[in-house]
């Protein structure tokens, strides 16, 4: 009798597991058919797009190795220019938003300090200072990694 119970339980687990596998495969198939190509490109990232682009150019235009090498260089140069434009645009947007963001943060800090007792205010000030130092440290690291391009300083507490 016990053996029959284990056999039934094993069969139920097998059915459940096969349902999971079939469901996962069906979802994957459905997702591939329903996801537009642009969204798939976003999932794959720029490196996959670039690789596919160069491969398509190579095959359709029948590029030789020298042309592929030069195409790769052109893609590198374009990527650097686009990154620089994005960096400048981001810096400009941050510069334009800075006064309003500082006002919001100042109001937020004042409201927070309004609900704290004196001991908590001292600790909160310490927390803000630690956060400011950490942000400056991260900013210096980013500037160092980005080739030293200066960025907008974060608002002070």
Sole residue written with tokens 């079939």: 22
In the predicted model, is pLDDT for residue 27 greater than 70? Answer: yes
- Give the predicted TM-score (pTM) of the model: 0.44
Backbone phi, then psi, for 2, in 5-degree steps?
-65, -35
Residue 124 half-sphere exposure toward CB, CA atoms < 13 A: 15
How many secondary structure helices (H) and strands (E) does the chain include?
A: 5, 0
In percent, how much of the chain has pLDDT > 70? 83
């Amino acid at each position: 009798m016990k053996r029959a119970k284990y056999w039934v339980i094993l069969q139920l687990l097998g059915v459940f597991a096969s349902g999971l596998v079939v469901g996962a495969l069906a979802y994957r198939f459905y997702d591939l058919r329903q996801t537009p190509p642009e969204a798939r490109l976003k999932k794959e990232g720029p490196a996959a797009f670039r690789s596919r682009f160069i491969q398509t150019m190579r095959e359709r235009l029948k590029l030789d190795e020298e042309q592929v090498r030069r195409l790769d260089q052109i893609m590198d140069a374009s990527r650097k220019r686009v990154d620089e434009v994005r960096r400048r645009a981001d810096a400009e947007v941050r510069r334009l938003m800075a006064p309003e963001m500082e006002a919001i943060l100042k109001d937020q800090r004042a409201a927070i300090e309004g609900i704290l007792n004196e001991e908590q205010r001292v600790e909160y000030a310490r927390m803000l200072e630690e956060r400011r130092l950490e942000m400056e440290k991260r900013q210096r690291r980013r500037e160092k990694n980005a080739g030293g391009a200066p960025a907008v300083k974060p608002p002070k507490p």
